Amino acid sequence: MNDWAPIAKEYDPLKAGSIDGTDEEPHDRAIWRAMLARYVPNKGVTGDPHLTLFVARLNLQTTEEKLKEVFSRYGDIRKIRLVRDLVTGFSKGYAFIEYKEERALLKAHRDANRLVIDQHEIFVDFELERTLKGWIPRRLGGGFGGKKESGQLRFGGRDRPFRKPINLPNVKNDFYGEGSAEKRNFSREGSRDWRTRDRDHERSREKRWPERERSWAWGDSERERDSKDERSRGRDRKDRDRKDRERDRSRERETKKQRDDDKHR
């Protein structure tokens, strides 16, 4: 933990595949491939690696002229190398820019990252191929960054730095009261306090239980009485309606009989 840093000082494919740099076994085949690789930097690349900037995620239509226009605002540029496919000649989406002064390099590294060029947000970092010990490129399973969709993220670079590891063994020991005598005594006292509180809680719950039963029984009796009252009121209402209908029918019969008598007179 004392020598931990979010940015890798030396490239280790196994650590680069871990979010906090603590993995002990590879979790994908690309890491195995990177660990077995014996990569030698390209000897045909010229220029000072300590003054060279790596620019990635470029629009495939971006040209050297456009890069010179944008990055020359940070200082004098000595050389721009836009990496292209050997067969098609099309851009691969990344380039190397060598400055004349370190001050310009640092300024571009600080301010140009996530700059939008030709509708693309670019990524800027120092050149790592010739400056970071043990470097393995992405095509051999190494590198930094990566897409989540690929499932082969690499950590320890500027894009995805290491997260600080959590010291789980210490947390576990403290939780179970292991370690110093003071901590063990504290854990025992704490356990006694918990047991006392549990007993008090059980006793109070036993006291409250008969009251709850009485309240529930009272509530049940009240509900039963209310339901009985509702049923009786419903029956009374039906009886009244039936009597009213019978009374109306008798009145209609009497009225009809009286009309018939009047006709015969």
| Whole-angstrom distance, CA of residue 246 vs CA of residue 243 | 5
Question: Which residues 6+ apart lie within 8 Å of 132 measured at CB?
Answer: 8, 10, 11
| Whole-angstrom distance, CA of residue 85 vs CA of residue 74 | 28
- In the beta sheet, which residues pair with residue 126? 53
Name the one residue in this structure whose structure tokens are 């309606």: 241
DSSP string, 195-208: HHHHHHHHHHHHHH
pLDDT tens digit at each of 265 positions of the chain = 567 789 999 999 999 999 998 888 898 899 999 999 989 888 888 899 999 999 999 999 999 999 999 999 999 999 999 999 999 999 999 999 999 999 999 999 999 999 999 999 999 999 999 999 999 999 999 999 988 877 789 999 999 999 988 764 444 444 334 444 444 343 444 444 445 555 555 555 555 555 554 544 444 455 556 666 677 777 777 778 888 888 888 787 777 777 776 666 5
Would the pTM count as exceeding 0.85?
Answer: no
Please, what are the domains in the chain?
1-39+135-165 (no CATH), 55-133 (3.30.70.330)
